[in-house]
Chain A
Amino acid sequence: MKKKSHNNIVVPQPGPRRFYGQGIPGVKLEELVGKLIVVEGADGSGRSTQIAKLVDWLETSGHATVQVGLKRSSLVSEELERAQEGNILSRTTLSLFYATDFADQLENIILPALKAGFIVLADRYVYTLMARDMVRGMDESWLKNVYGIAPVPDAVFYLAVEAEELVQRNLSKNATLDYWESGMDLGLSRDMFDSFLQYQTAMQAAFLQLQKTYGFTIVDSNCSVDAVSQELRKKIGAVLAAK
């Protein structure tokens, strides 16, 4: 028989799957045969660009993909957006609101897609939510309990970019810095530029702290889009081919 190109499609084998903590009641882990790939990083770290490229590559390679991100749930995303605009929520409330948003997407998108054998690409995951709260002084063990509902991904990449470089990328893209990405609610500085640098530096420290527990792969995203993309493909390729 002649070897056809579709015979080269890699069928990922389901690996051991677990939740970080208590998990979601009633979910059968062995049914989650798809793969969960997470890309983390600040705004301007190249997350969206890299995810778009990964989707192209994965779909061309024969894999069905689904994308999820933060603040995209049908349940609370509008309310969360409104509450954020007014900046009226206290930290525990905001934290739980985000957790609700995450749980809704987890149960309605991520878990069903994994069950159907999709490759789920998460544009940020629980680590961003935890890092943001840690920077705001919340208890790490409390956060770990809340996000014990999250399944452990098959791969997590943190796109690391220096804070100074992030400023340049954000300004060249939007000509303005985002209120929340600058951590203005923390009162670090009344100067948005200073606040952005301080906040993003603190976020990187929080990610490094979380990396100790969660062991995600740090990708130097200061270099070119293609170089980063190549590295991601190599690592994801290995995850998909793993027996």
Chain B
Amino acid sequence: MKTFGERNFPGRLIAVEGLDGSGKSTQIYLLKRWLEAEGVRVYFSEWNSSELVKSATSKGKKRELLSPTTFSLIHATDFADRYERHLLPLLRAGYVVLCDRYIFTAFARDVTRGCPPAWVRGIYNFAALPDLTFFFKADLEVSLRRILDGRPKLKFFEAGMDLRLSSDPYESFRIFQGRILEQYLAMSTEFNFNIIDANQRVEVQQGIVRQLVSQRIDLSRFKRENPLPLPPPLKVKPKTVALEDDPAE
């Protein structure tokens, strides 16, 4: 599998991955705000947001009709719709596309649900890899607390209740998220995840993200003609955290 850059697309794709509650959506939102202010042609795409597929997905979830296989396929359908109708044309047109979750979410979730890894990866092999992937790694307890404090009613599939891990949704959610985290970490080297210590302050993380983006992507190539005035730069000493020397462990 190749990245969009390696496939000679004029655009670039940046993906964020991480558990629910890892703060990745906040980070990609702040990245988007910065890129917009820099005058970069930017587009933001969320997992599970294709209008076409939405009614089937929400029906399946509400009525708990989904098996691991159909859960996987319906999310792949949703992804394919966004990929073919939005991401590809934008990347052809030279946009910087920001994805809140990408195929790695499916790899981690579907395999945790019991789908064969080779089958899941095969399904998504029509998609190019991101040019830059951030993985927000928070302590499991921190992510759990963020979700469980803020939104105490867990949805059936979100809590992994279909896996019958526990009859208690909170306990089920804990076990499920723990297994997903294991899956993410197992693929982080293979897919060049840039691991960000998500236990740090929001600003610290955003500083690292912006630094890495500007190092890896020549943003001047993606600017519109009349950029907006820039906000003052963040003054943060960037550091990326490798898996081996993660201070959180």
Contact = CB atoms under 8 A, between A and B. Distances in A.
Interface string B121-161: 01101100000000000000000000000000000000000
Interface stretch (A36-44, A85-93, A212-220): A85-93
A24 interface: yes
A88 B84 CA distance: 11
A103 B83 contact: no
Contacts of B80: 90, 92-93, 95-96
Size bracket of the B interface: 20 to 34
A93 B86 CA distance: 12
A142 B124 CA distance: 9
B123 A146 contact: yes
Q: Most chain-A Cβ atoms within 10 A of its Cβ — which of B80, B84, B118?
A: B80
The majority secondary structure among interface residues of chain B is helix
Interface string B49-75: 000110110011000011111100110
Interface residues of A, number: 34
B126 A92 contact: yes
A164 interface: no
A136 to B, nearest CB: 12
The 10 closest A-B pairs by CB, nearest first: A90-B84, A145-B122, A22-B116, A96-B77, A25-B114, A100-B73, A93-B80, A22-B119, A79-B56, A92-B80
Given A75-B59, A90-B85, A146-B122, 5 more contacts: A21-B119, A24-B69, A90-B81, A93-B81, A100-B70
Interface of A: 21-26, 74-76, 78-80, 83, 88-93, 95-97, 99-100, 103-104, 106-107, 139, 142, 145-146, 148-149
